[in-house]
Each structure stands twice: as structure tokens, then as C-alpha cells.
Amino acid sequence: MATQVAPPRSVQLTQVTEWSDGQFRLQDDVLAAEEPLEIRIGQSPLTVTMRTPGHDEELAAGFLLTEGILEDPAQLASLRSYVTSASGKHNGIEVELRDCQFDPAQMQRNFFAASSCGICGKASIEAIRQRGLHAPNPDFRFDPELLCTLPDKLRAAQAVFSHTGGLHAAGLFSASGELLVLREDIGRHNAVDKVVGWAMLQGKLPLSQHILLVSGRGGFEIIQKALAAGIPALASVSAPSSLAVQLARELGLTLIGFLRGRRFVLYSGAFRCAETRISPGHNAGP
């Protein structure tokens, strides 16, 4: 894959005071940029998400699909960047849909509910099931040795992280381990939406022969976004949440955590790992 270049406006230069070995000194530092992106459908506001500028149309497209507003990529008619009055910058995406029923008030209520920490796991998973998501490709297989090579490929391609050290990444890999696309953002869910949006705009959905690798943890929202894109295997370098594991097992996604060096943990869908041989282990305790 070609060398990654940081998108315009994705980083900001600032001056900081560093203390080191008893001495203070002024120096320049690079920060990961954070700005709001307003997404509207026609003239109706849908949501505002904090994101790292860059690949905004992919982010909007991926968001619409993974949040269930679009049932089919063909329902997306157009995307247009616009300047928001508050910032004077291109921090807005206007979406036009076709053959799609859109109720702005209902959508906003759904997003408020989805962000609430009070929703129980059963209700959340039932809502996902009602969207019509289903088990991804049961015939997909991957080599565990190949899986262990992916984190280094992801890290090497993180252009903005290399400058700032402060971004999440999502990388889409082929079954042979080729990095097809990488996107970075302050929000891990935004990075995933950018990857899914890229695939959607390139006409590559469903991603039934691919592995998605994310930095950080594998949370519930990441699992449902992967399922919406038809991804059969999701790996993270950290731990998943309990609800993420529950949803992955419910809908047949292969979920991998703690992918570091030559070790990883399979939380669900071990059958997709080629030549899986499970030795007796020990109980982890309550």
C-alpha cells in the first residue's frame, strides 16, 4: 500500500513547555485536530460528531449505513461538503437520499438513546436484530500466523499518529493480509465509519472476505458497525467489552482481542481461525 499522508487539517501545531531532567524548555508540538462535523439530510439536521477532519464524506456515508439510516448503499444519492456558519470551515456534510423514509425527530431520539448508558444489553441487541443484520460470511477463514502480522502493518501506516501519538485507527485487510485502507480519527467509531464509508463509496460492500483491525478496545458500537458492513472478523489490540462479546456471539462475528505479538484471544467465532486446535485450559475465575 502507498505511504499514508496526513489529510489537511488533521493536525495542529502548538507550543508547549516541556520539563526534562530538571530543566524547562519551550518547544513546538503537534496535536491531533478535533472539530465538529455536522451531518444533515437535505436541510434537516441529523447529528453532530466530534471528529478529526479528513475523509468527511466517507465518515458521513459510513455513519448512515452503520447506524441503520440506510438499508442499501443505493439509497445514497449524493454527498456535499458545506461551510458551517459557526466555524467558517467545511465542517458540514449534506446528504441527499433516494427511496428512503427519513424522520429527523425519530432519528435524533434514537441517537440520544443510543448514547445513553442506561440501555440494557438485551434491549440494545434486540434493536440490532430488528435492523435485519445477520451473521457474516460463515465460510471465511484466516491464518492465525497472518493475523499476528497485522498490528505492525497498521501502526506503520498511521500517518497522523506518527506525528501526534493521539489517534485511533481502523484498518481493513484482505484475507491474504494486504492493508486495503486505513483511516484515523480521535474516535475509534469514526475511524470505522470512515473505512466502511470508503468501501461503500467504492462499491465494495459487503466486506465478506475481510478482517477489520482497530486500535484500542472492541466496544459494542464497533461490533454493530462491522456487522452492518458484513465483516466476518474483527480484531483489536485491547480488550472487548462484555456487551461486545455478547453481540458477536449472538450474530456470529469472529471477535479477537489482545492481538499483540504472537498472542491473541478469540472471544467468539473461533471456527474461522484456520486449523483451530483448542487445548484444555484453566478457569479464569468469577
Nearest to 114 by CA among 219, 249, 191: 219
Could you tell me if 121 and 153 lie in one domain?
no
Query: Cβ-count burial of 212 within 10 angstroms (0-12 exposed, 13-18 middle, 19+ buried)?
Result: buried
Could you tell me if 169 and 59 lie in one domain?
no
Residue 20's pLDDT band (cuts 50, 70, 90) = confident
Q: What is the DSSP letter of 201?
A: H
pLDDT of residue 160: 62
pLDDT of residue 53: 92
> Over the stretch 233-267, which tens digit does the pLDDT of each residue have?
999 999 999 999 999 999 999 999 999 999 999 99
pLDDT of residue 15: 83
Helix (H, G, I), strand (E, B) or coil at 151: helix
Measured at the CA of 112, the angle between CA 110 and CA 113, to 5 degrees, comes to 65
Helix (H, G, I), strand (E, B) or coil at 72: coil
83 lies in some domain: yes
250 lies in some domain: yes
pLDDT of residue 285: 41
Could you tell me if 184 and 217 lie in one domain?
yes
Write out the DSSP string of 233-266: EEEESSPBPHHHHHHHHHHT-EEEEEEETTEEEE
132 lies in some domain: no
Could you tell me if 263 and 154 lie in one domain?
yes
278 lies in some domain: no
Could you tell me if 118 and 75 lie in one domain?
yes
pTM for the predicted model, two decimal places: 0.87
Could you tell me if 122 and 165 lie in one domain?
no
pLDDT of residue 30: 76
CA–CA distance, 264 with 257 (Å, rounded to integer): 6
Domain final residue pick, 97, 126, 155: 126
HSE of 151, CA atoms in CB hemisphere, 13 A: 18
pLDDT of residue 106: 62
Nearest to 168 by CA among 44, 51, 39: 51
41 lies in some domain: yes
What number is the average pLDDT over the span 48-58?
94
Could you tell me if 154 and 101 lie in one domain?
no
> What is the number of domains present in the chain?
2
Q: For residue 284, is pLDDT > 60?
A: no
State the amino acid at position 47 in one-letter form: T
> Over the stretch 72-101, which tens digit does the pLDDT of each residue have?
999 999 999 999 877 788 999 999 999 987
| CATH number of domain containing 43 | 3.10.20.10
Could you tell me if 163 and 252 lie in one domain?
yes
Query: Are the beta carbons of 39 and 29 closer than 8 angstroms?
Result: no
What number is the average pLDDT over the span 161-167?
61
CA–CA distance, 230 with 242 (Å, rounded to integer): 21
CA–CA distance, 167 with 179 (Å, rounded to integer): 18
Active-site residue (options: 100, 117, 120, 273): 117
285 lies in some domain: no
> Over the stretch 187-211, which tens digit does the pLDDT of each residue have?
889 999 999 999 999 999 999 999 9
* Residue 273 annotated as catalytic: no
Q: For residue 117, is pLDDT > 50?
A: no
| CATH number of domain containing 214 | 3.40.140.10
133 lies in some domain: no
Domain final residue pick, 100, 126, 152: 126
Could you tell me if 191 and 228 lie in one domain?
yes
Residue 211's beta-bridge partner residues?
A: 173, 233
Nearest to 253 by CA among 235, 274, 276: 235
pLDDT of residue 31: 77
CA distances in angstroms from 86 to 15, 51, 52, 261, listed in the order given? 25, 16, 17, 45
pLDDT of residue 7: 74
Which of 18-27, 152-161, 238-247 is predicted most confidently? 238-247
Q: For residue 167, is pLDDT > 90?
A: no
What is the extent of the structural domain holding 262?
144-272
Could you tell me if 155 and 235 lie in one domain?
yes
pLDDT of residue 19: 83
What mean pLDDT, rounded, does the chain reach? Answer: 85
- Torsion angles phi and psi, residue 205, rounded to 5: -80, 150
Sort strands 210-214 and 254-260 into parallel, antiparallel or unpaired.
unpaired
Q: Which range has the worst mean pLDDT, 12-26, 71-85, 116-130, 269-283?
A: 116-130
Alpha helices in 142-271 (DSSP H): 144-147, 150-156, 159-164, 188-201, 220-228, 242-251
pLDDT of residue 164: 56
> Over the stretch 135-149, which tens digit does the pLDDT of each residue have?
999 999 999 999 999
pLDDT of residue 119: 45
Q: What would the grid cell of residue 176 be?
A: 491474504
Other CB atoms within 10 Å distance of the CB of residue 285: 4
Could you tell me if 260 and 163 lie in one domain?
yes
240 lies in some domain: yes
Could you tell me if 165 and 211 lie in one domain?
yes
Q: For residue 113, is pLDDT > 50?
A: no
Residue 28's pLDDT band (cuts 50, 70, 90) = confident
Q: Which range has the worst mean pLDDT, 98-102, 152-156, 218-222?
A: 98-102
Nearest to 246 by CA among 219, 270, 274: 219
